[in-house]
Amino acid sequence: MADQATLNQEQITKVRQNLSLNIYSTDSGTKTYVTGNSFRIETPMTVPANGQETPIGYINSTGTVTYDLLIKDGKVAPSHIRATISNVSYTRTEIQAFGSGNANYRIDSPTGTIFNKYYSPTGGNWSENVNRTIDLSDMQISSKVNEQKQQIVTTHDEWQYNPTNSSVSLSLTVPNISILDVPKATNDEGTLVIKYINAVTGDTLWETSKKVPGDSNQFYTAPSVYIFAYKLISTQMLQATVPSGGTKEFIFKYNPAYAIKVHYVDSSTNQDIPSKPVYTQSVFRGEPFRHTPPEIQGYRLASGSTGVDIPSVTSNGDYYIRYDKIPSTVNVTVRYLNRANYSPLKSDAVLYNQPIGQTIRYNPPAIEGYAPEKTEYSYNVVEGNNVLMIFYTENAKIRPWAIRKYGNWSSLNTLRTWMKIRRTANQNYWDTKPNAEIQASDAGKDDFSPSRIRKSGKWKAQGKIGN
């Protein structure tokens, strides 16, 4: 035997097959034509000619009536009855009209005016789209013996011999009123419906139904996880009595799983690190997600970058952990400084691409007037800034014609008149020796310095007198 829902639908279908839609016009001059649920109201435009009303034109109003059928108190009843006026047109005949002025054609509904048109009956044809829907009050389905009518519209046309004022109504009838009664299901079977529902969207993930003995106690246990993408959040087992001829639903709610992606990003390029694929994990809605930054060879965690900590996952998400690439080589800057005042003696040099962690050896270049403190420097290359400082000391300078006095060397003032030397064979020409300062290492050089002394047949730079 069919259940009650099936019987209801079967009875609705039976009633619809036997139901008649009737549309009437109360004015003798107006004709109403019905085809199915479509209708046409034909209104003649008349004038007195040859002693009688003579049409000079016709106005046609077309529309449709629709309705729903439902079960109410064990009977089939109509619901949501509505009429739609779709088009109004005027067709003029070849009879000369009398009079002057414009005509007024109007269509009214129970709730107000639908269409109002001023036109010249002596003019040409016209047609207008209306497309106005009127919701009518519900009514009972009646037999033809006791027919209940409902007004649809009223038409008015005042420019004619007998002004039209017609009312158009509808009724729904069946041959036998008893057909409206819906049989009651007497079978002892009930229907158990089982549904898995997405708790976020309300969508049905899975549904099944089965026939069970009426008024029987039924139970069903749902899986804790459904197709690996949904987690049960409601009671896992439901138990209830399925009524005879009725339906009982078991609804289980599931939280969806979201895709959480963690990207490991090179801070210098803002791109994913090729050697470390994106980490992806499926997390059920409402559950926490925590991810500690892993170690990546050749990289270290960037400053301020932390792991991912989500107390409650509510959507798909991409998260990013930034890493700094650890360099393998660095540049080393070499500076040449005067030890006395740390001032630079020449431009800095750069040793490019030196391996980090290795010791380099460097021979300082010669700088005139200065000597490096070491002939070779060693330097351990580290990550970050690397500066190798080479210190130089200025070569010692002496002033020739210096003598030892009280334990110190004191330079003679050669500009005094008594500090002179015979310069030429002219016995009367004495050349005053200038004050001169030379590097101590230059003492004894051939033909060097204005202060010279004769030694081994050559003039040599004069040094200090004594040891």
DSSP label at residue 234? S
Residue 94, phi then psi, degrees to nearest 5: -90, 40
Quick one: pLDDT at residue 52?
Answer: 78
Torsional sign, CA 340, 341, 344, 346: negative
192 and 172 inside one domain: no
Calculate the dihedral angle through the C-alpha atoms of 303, 304, 307, 309, rounding to the nearest 10 degrees.
180
457 assigned to some structural domain: yes
Question: pLDDT digit string (tens) for 342-355?
Answer: 999 999 999 999 99
DSSP secondary structure letter of residue 396? P
The confidence score (pLDDT) of residue 404 equals 65
Kindly tell me if the per-residue pLDDT of 379 is higher than 50: yes
Which of 140, 138, 145 is closest to 176 using CA atoms? 145
Ranges 257-261, 313-317, 406-410: which has the least confidence: 406-410
| Average model confidence (pLDDT) across the chain | 87
For residues 96 and 48, membership in a common domain is answered with: yes
**Does the structure show a pLDDT above 80 at 257?**
yes
pLDDT of residue 144: 83
For 424-454, the pLDDT digits (tens) are 555 566 666 666 677 766 777 887 777 777 7
* Per-residue pLDDT tens over the stretch 384-404: 899 999 999 988 666 666 666
Please indicate, yes or no, if residue 466 is contained in any of the structural domains.
no
Selected residue with higher pLDDT from 438 and 166: 166
| Whether pLDDT at 418 is above 70 | no
The answer on pLDDT for 266 being more than 90 is: yes
Tokens of 242: 């399925």
Which two tokens mark 175? 């041959």
**Residues 6 or more apart whose Cβ sits within 8 Å of residue 368:** none
Are residues 422 and 383 part of one domain? no
60-87 tens-digit pLDDT:
999 999 999 999 989 999 999 999 999 9
Task: Tell the residue number behind the tokens 């004038």, with chain if given.
Answer: 47
Residue-level pLDDT at 394 = 84
pTM for the full model?
0.41
Residues 121, 164, single domain; the answer is: yes
For residues 147 and 174, the answer to whether their CB atoms sit within 8 Å is: no
User: What whole-number percentage of the chain has pLDDT above 70?
Assistant: 87
Residue 12 lies in a domain: yes
**259 and 163 housed in the same domain:** no
> Mean of the pLDDT values across residues 270-275?
95
Cα–chain center distance at 188: 54
Instruction: Note whether residue 290 is domain-resident.
Output: yes
In 3D space, the residue among 255, 272, 287 whose CA is nearest the CA of residue 319 turns out to be: 272
CATH number for position 356: 2.60.40.4300
pLDDT in tens, 208-256: 999 998 888 999 999 999 998 999 999 999 999 998 888 999 999 999 9
HSE value, Cβ hemisphere, 13 Å, CA-based, for 432 = 9
pLDDT at 96: 64
Q: Within this chain, do residues 261 and 219 fall inside the same structural domain, yes or no?
A: yes
**Among residues of the chain, what percentage have pLDDT more than 90?**
56
Give yes or no: residues 92 and 198 share one domain.
Answer: no
Binning pLDDT at 50, 70 and 90, where does residue 458 land? confident
Q: Which residue has the higher pLDDT, 250 or 29?
A: 250
What total number of domains does the chain contain?
4
Domain stops at, among 274, 291, 325:
325
User: Do 165 and 209 reside in the same domain of the chain?
Assistant: no
Of 293, 325, 357, the residue that ends a domain is: 325
Given 394, 423, 449, the domain boundary residue is 394
Q: Which two tokens stand for residue 93?
A: 């005949």
The dihedral over CA atoms of 95, 99, 102, 107, expressed in degrees to the nearest 10, equals -70
- Type of residue found at 192: L
Cβ proximity of 412 and 454 under 8 Å: no
3-state SS, residue 169: strand
In a domain, residue 316? The reply is yes
User: Which two tokens mark 198?
Assistant: 């997405």
User: Quick check: 421 pLDDT over 70?
Assistant: no
Angle at 442 between CA 440 and CA 443, to 5 degrees: 75
Could you report the per-residue pLDDT of 174-209, keeping only the tens digit for each? Answer: 988 899 999 887 657 889 999 999 999 999 999 999
In a domain, 467, yes or no: no
Pick from 349, 335, 453: nearest CA to 388: 335
Q: What is the pLDDT of residue 467?
A: 47
Residue with tokens 């393998």, as numbered in its chain: 328
Phi and psi (nearest 5°) for 18? -100, -5
Specify the pLDDT at position 196. 97
Give the DSSP letter string of 329-375.
EEEEEEEEEETTT--EEEEEEEEEEEETTPEEEEPPPPBTTEEES-S
Residue ranges making up the domain that contains 267 = 187-325
- Asked if pLDDT for residue 159 goes beyond 80, the answer is no
Distance of CA 438 to the CA centre of its chain: 80
Q: Are residues 136 and 20 in the same domain?
A: yes
- Average pLDDT estimate for 15-34: 88
Q: Kindly list the distances between the CA atom of residue 396 and the CA atoms of 173, 366, 371, 440, 464, in Å, as whole numbers in the listed order.
A: 133, 16, 10, 6, 13
The pLDDT assigned to 361 comes to: 95
Whether 51 and 104 share a structural domain: yes
- Is there a single domain that holds both residue 19 and residue 136? yes
Q: Are 264 and 289 in contact (CB under 8 A)?
A: no
| Band of residue 405 on the pLDDT scale cut at 50, 70, 90 | low
Residues 169 and 52 in one domain: yes
Given a contact cutoff of 8 angstroms between Cβ atoms, the answer to whether 148 and 103 are in contact is no
